[in-house]
Amino acid sequence: PSGDSPPEDGESAWALAHAARVRRCLADAEAAAVAPAAAGLSAAPPVLDEEPLRSRWAEYCAKNSRHEAEGRHRCLFCSKLFKGPDFVEKHILKQHGQGLKEIVEELGKERVREAFLAAAKGPGWD
């Protein structure tokens, strides 16, 4: 193919063409990943009503808040007091949202792993 350097050290033309295709594919994937951020768009926010995200988020909020007395709930990140657990949960989401990002990433990794293991049971994996 034109534009490719001549094969060196036994590399075949096919290997060079394949490497060029892989580079183009990776460049396209990187451009697609950067495009929403460059346009000021972000990915859709996670839906907290769906399991297992809801239960993990509730567990995270419970671990990072404390019930001190009737009508007194404290955020353990910044020690701010709230009237109820729902208010603390909303505060943690808005002010200390890194935990939600970590939970979403962890769930994504679990889903990818499950999909890989499910695919590994097909033909050719004997």
Domain ranges of the chain: 1-43, 53-119
pLDDT tens, position by position, 36-61: 555 444 566 778 888 999 999 999 99
pLDDT band at 9 (very low <50, low <70, confident <90, very high): low
pTM across the whole model: 0.60
Over pLDDT 90: what percentage of the chain?
48
101-114: average pLDDT: 92
Label residue 46 left, alpha or beta by phi (over 0 means left) and psi (-120 to 50 means alpha).
Answer: beta
> For 31, phi and psi rounded to 5 degrees?
-65, -40
